[in-house]
Structure 1
Amino acid sequence: MKILMLDRSIGFDPKDREARPLGARQRGFIALAEALVARGHKVEARRNGGIDLDHHGVAWRQLDSAMPPFGGDPVDRVLVWRDAELLRHPSIPEGSDCWLWFDGMVSDLNADKARLALLETGAQVIFTHEDHGKAFDGDIAKCPIVIAPGACPAFAMASNMHWAFESRENLAVTVANSKTGIAQIIRIWSAYVAPKVPGAILEIYASDLFSAMAGENDDVSEELVDMVRDNIDKGVRVCHPMPEADMAERIATARAFLHHGKYGNDQVGQWIYDALAAATPVVSYGGIAKARVENGKTGYIVPDETAYGNLVMQLLADRQIFASQSEAARNSRREWLNVAGELEKL
């Protein structure tokens, strides 16, 4: 099929994935485009900014290019990324069969402009987990379906270099920002993990907290900055997010991926899928993790701080527990290639 993909987020090029940290939205868009090509489709991906180039088989073009998709050849499918109003974009040929991949807040999809775009185009709405779609009350021609996202390829590749417990560092990793539960994770680490696992390191990848530690971000509370400083001797480290391959290597070197789950509006769980593909078990309070983690098998969904801390401690210190969870995560990993295959069946 000839598939046109449209995204209206930040400006980026696919090569940026190798040079700088990108958001989950952009990384998923790139990975799915490349997965569709790998399955034999022709893909033209349009986004804000960037340059026109062909990369890994995908024709990357600017969103507002005046040129028709595929040089004017018929388009078999249009995949709009997250933004229902993009269904009316002038680059979409009239009468096209459209999919809307939606992993945002359902309240946005219930807004008048979004609902009108769905009614006018007859687009197939694709939600990313079962509970996500239950809040949608739109009356549209096609019943919404659910397709979960997948891990980016770099994480599965990185896991192949770190099979054994001994090949992993005494390390836990979390990717977050200052408003998504970092303070509680640090508190749990300080009270339950550090005293029982000497030498263990907690790496927090958070750009806002990293800049605040350097005195360059006033939006982060002084209390959180002080908490980090007070726990440096207990192994807490704040790091700037890295390009995808570097993040994959670091997560694949860890014995646990820490996710909070009580804060924020994440409906994707991209980092959770990435961690599991890296064969790194996940510990979380829930949220989107409930739809991504097999509790007790590929990680843990916990009720309180005590359980959270004790399970992180066990993953770091107990070879058998880590090996069982890591192997299950590796064997059940889901990649964007799986997503592409499910899209083909629609």
Structure 2
Amino acid sequence: MARIVMTDDGIVFDGASLEEKPLGGAETSFIEMANALAARGHEVIVCNKCPAERTHRGVHWRPLAQGVPDSADLYIANRGDRLIRLCPKAKRSIFWIHNPAGYLLKARYQWKLALRRPVIVFSGASHAGTYPGWAFAGGREIVPYGVTDLFRHATPREQVPPPRAIFTSNPLRSLDWLLELWAARIRPAVPGAELHIFAGAATYGAAGAAKADRMGLVLDRAAALADHGVVLRGPVPKTQLVGELGAARALLYRGDIGETFCSAVAEAQAMGLPVVLEDIACMSERVIPDETGYCVKGEADFATAAIQVLSDDTLWRRLHRGALAQQRGWGWDDAAASFEQIGGLR
């Protein structure tokens, strides 16, 4: 058993938050990794902005303000520059990032990365490509996010669902674009189709609160399209989201240049839900074209693909079965095993 210390200085959350409230992808991934490493027999200590010290699913959570242990077999700093040089006597260190890596080129990151030389972990090839070769690192590795186990046990659906599309990402990530395309092209071609929006500021904690006004404008537009089949549902915890994905027919998402993995799409695919995406950033890494969904260029092709998935039952069955067969094999235990290997624990 190894001693693993993990740190994060973003929003307030702890291990129970995953079951209790909606969370963003970075926070979800951090919790899932901690849980998976503990399940593999390691002592895992998390120091973050949790409200109080507690142990949850074998992981010891404690407020970052109480300090960070000086030593560990493996130290995992999560995204923040002030964390890079903590736990100075750790045998190995990883710097795990979740956003496009351009921000690491700031001086306050580069000098710390130059001194510590942690292995930087990216979530995919597109993500790794955002960090130039000349920038400091003690190594570069790609470890895709696992799919939360809750989404990995769907069975093939006997009945083709009604034309209900779903959006489960950040409303500032092109939801306005999707709403316009839905009202102008998709809904008129599929009468009775619905677009359910599971999105809102609550998912992102303090960061979401700072953008609440901007999100509100987009969500107000969604609410105004009720006559076009748009249903504003708000964010929900994953325990509820699994049922919503299981009732939907497709996930529609344009993508965003800020995406580096997109757990929303990965979760939908693992549930056997066909997706229609635009070829932006990492989106092409989340779908197997014409087997589990579509990744297209431009709004015309996006609308055409969405209309087909929402209206062609034979096509839907093929994409549904393809996603179930091919898109749920990699879980958090697999991702944790990769972190063990990077950290010299196996």
TM range (shorter): 0.7 to 0.9
Task: Determine if contact 1:127/1:147 at 8 Å carries over to the other structure.
Answer: yes
Tell me which residue corresponds to 1:281: 274
Task: Determine if contact 1:124/1:144 at 8 Å carries over to the other structure.
Answer: yes
Say if 2:60 is the partner of 1:59. Answer: yes
Tell me which residue corresponds to 1:129: 124
Deviations 1:103-151 (CA, angstroms, capped at 9, x unpaired): 2232211112211212211211111222322332344463312121122
Tell me which residue corresponds to 1:81: 78
Task: Describe the SS at the equivalent of 2:196.
Answer: strand
Measure the CA separation in 1 of the matches of 2:67 and 2:217: 49
Say if 2:311 is the partner of 1:317. Answer: yes
The alpha carbon displacement at 1:192 in A equals 3.2
The alpha carbon displacement at 1:183 in A equals 2.2
Measure the CA separation in 2 of the matches of 1:286 and 1:110: 26
Measure the CA separation in 2 of the matches of 1:119 and 1:277: 39
Task: Determine if contact 2:272/2:323 at 8 Å carries over to the other structure.
Answer: yes
The alpha carbon displacement at 1:341 in A equals 1.9
Deviations 1:277-299 (CA, angstroms, capped at 9, x unpaired): 22212211122212222222222
Say if 2:184 is the partner of 1:191. Answer: yes
Residue type matched to 1:284 in 2?
L
The alpha carbon displacement at 1:253 in A equals 1.8
Measure the CA separation in 2 of the matches of 1:220 and 1:75: 41
How many residues matched?
A: 329
Q: TM-score, normalised by structure 1?
A: 0.86
Tell me which residue corresponds to 2:205: none
Task: Determine if contact 1:171/1:316 at 8 Å carries over to the other structure.
Answer: yes
Measure the CA separation in 2 of the matches of 1:323 and 1:187: 28
Measure the CA separation in 1 of the matches of 2:340 and 2:90: 19
Deviations 1:228-266 (CA, angstroms, capped at 9, x unpaired): 42x3122111121011211222122211111112x4512
The alpha carbon displacement at 1:167 in A equals 6.4
141 and 80 in structure 1: CA distance in 2 versus 1, 3 angstrom threshold: closer
1:1-346 paired onto structure 2 within 5 Å: 1-66=2-67, 68=69, 75-89=72-86, 92-137=87-132, 138-140=134-136, 142-157=138-153, 159-160=154-155, 163-164=156-157, 166=159, 168-207=161-200, 218-219=213-214, 225-226=220-221, 228-229=223-224, 231-261=225-255, 263-287=256-280, 288-332=282-326, 333=328, 334-346=330-342
Measure the CA separation in 2 of the matches of 1:329 and 1:173: 16
Residue type matched to 1:48 in 2?
K
Measure the CA separation in 2 of the matches of 1:141 and 1:174: 36
Q: TM-score, normalised by structure 2?
A: 0.86
Task: Describe the SS at the equivalent of 1:297.
Answer: coil
220 and 121 in structure 1: CA distance in 2 versus 1, 3 angstrom threshold: closer
Deviations 1:149-198 (CA, angstroms, capped at 9, x unpaired): 122222224x24xx215264431111234432122212222233323333
Residue type matched to 1:254 in 2?
A
223 and 31 in structure 1: CA distance in 2 versus 1, 3 angstrom threshold: closer
Residue type matched to 1:152 in 2?
T
Measure the CA separation in 2 of the matches of 1:30 and 1:107: 25
13 and 208 in structure 1: CA distance in 2 versus 1, 3 angstrom threshold: closer
Instruction: Tell me the C-alpha RMSD between the 2 structures.
Output: 2.6
Deviations 1:36-89 (CA, angstroms, capped at 9, x unpaired): 2222322122211322111112111222324747xxxx6211111122431112
Task: Describe the SS at the equivalent of 1:166.
Answer: coil
